[in-house]
Amino acid sequence: MAINGTYNVTIETPMGAQTSTVTFKTEGAVLSGTFQGRGGSQAFTGTVEGNNGKWSITVPSPMGGQITLSFNCQVTEKELTGSVQLGQFGTAPVKGTKA
């Protein structure tokens, strides 16, 4: 499937651009992978329908505690575009290219 692979992504957060790497693997409608960012590496599971992937991770909040990032992205053989819900901090655009 086109969604499988590793992507270099940028999230445009209120605190500035945050870069990370996301690796995807699909099996039917199940999306799994690894999110590698400033806070380390984190495995995730989610769903995939065609080229649309949805997944969530939990990261340290800039205000203390933890925050859930919920991604909703279109992923093609070359790029990733979409949005991420930043817990109570609103939604931010996310984009990336295949590594």
Single pTM value for the model: 0.92
Query: What is the H or E stretch that residue 41 is in?
Result: strand 40-49
User: Comparing 2 with 75, which gets the higher pLDDT?
Assistant: 75
63 — phi, psi (to 5°)? -100, 10
Query: What is the H or E stretch that residue 68 is in?
Result: strand 66-75
* Domain at 63, CATH number: 2.40.128.120
Q: Containing domain of residue 63, as a range? A: 5-98
| Sign of the alpha-carbon torsion through 32, 81, 98, 22 | negative
Does pLDDT of 96 surpass 80? yes
**Number of independent structural domains in the chain:** 1
89 — phi, psi (to 5°)? -95, 15
Check residue 85 and give left, alpha or beta (phi > 0: left; psi -120 to 50: alpha): beta
pLDDT one-digit tens code per residue, 8-46: 999 999 889 999 999 999 999 999 999 999 878 999 999
In this structure, are residues 91 and 18 in contact, taking their beta carbons and an 8 Å threshold? no
